[in-house]
Amino acid sequence: MVEDIVADEGLEELSALGHEVQELVRASCKARDHAYCPYSQFSVGAAVKMSSGDLYTGCNIENSAYPVSLCAERTAIAKAVSEGNTNISAIAVTAILEPNKTFVFPCGSCRQFITEFAKDKDVPIYLAKPDLKNIYVTSIKKLLPHGFHF
């Protein structure tokens, strides 16, 4: 299962990852096609696998008033939560940062949002570029080791 895979942080070829992870990454890439980003042209897609087995996707949604824009990760998680799924088992994010073509990591707000629904698990995070050749594998506790809990 996806939630059982928290590999060491680093690069992996997509083909070396399990079928469920490949499906998750491909879903995040497809979600990127729906990004609404008329201002930055920076499209991001995300896919979140819940402990129920359900998969939800989201894209970034920009607004001319930038602070009310939504990141792809939070869009996907909000879709899941609005359907009653509140326990994340894995998340994939596809984007590319020009001009140096680096991997794109979740922003601080998204890291906290993921932490809220990780339920104290070290949820794996798969970061992809649109070519889906190499995947950067990390986890929420590596990106936000001391998230806020009330």
Active-site positions read 73
C-alpha 66/C-alpha 62 separation (Å) is 7
Is the C-alpha dihedral spanning 4, 72, 98, 111 positive or negative?
Answer: negative
Q: Are 148 and 115 in contact (CB under 8 A)?
A: yes
C-alpha 29/C-alpha 21 separation (Å) is 12
The answer to whether 65 is annotated as binding is yes
Query: Using CA atoms in the order 71, 63, 85, 141, what is the torsion angle rounded to 10 degrees?
Result: 20
The answer to whether 83 is annotated as binding is no
Lookup result for tokens 């980003």:
37
Q: What's the alpha-carbon Rg for the chain, to the nearest Å? A: 14
The answer to whether 66 is annotated as binding is yes
The answer to whether 64 is annotated as binding is yes
The answer to whether 63 is annotated as binding is yes
The answer to whether 71 is annotated as binding is yes
List, as residue ranges, the binding site for substrate.
Answer: 60-66
List, as residue ranges, the binding site for Zn(2+).
Answer: 71, 107, 110
List, as residue ranges, the binding site.
Answer: 60-66, 71, 107, 110
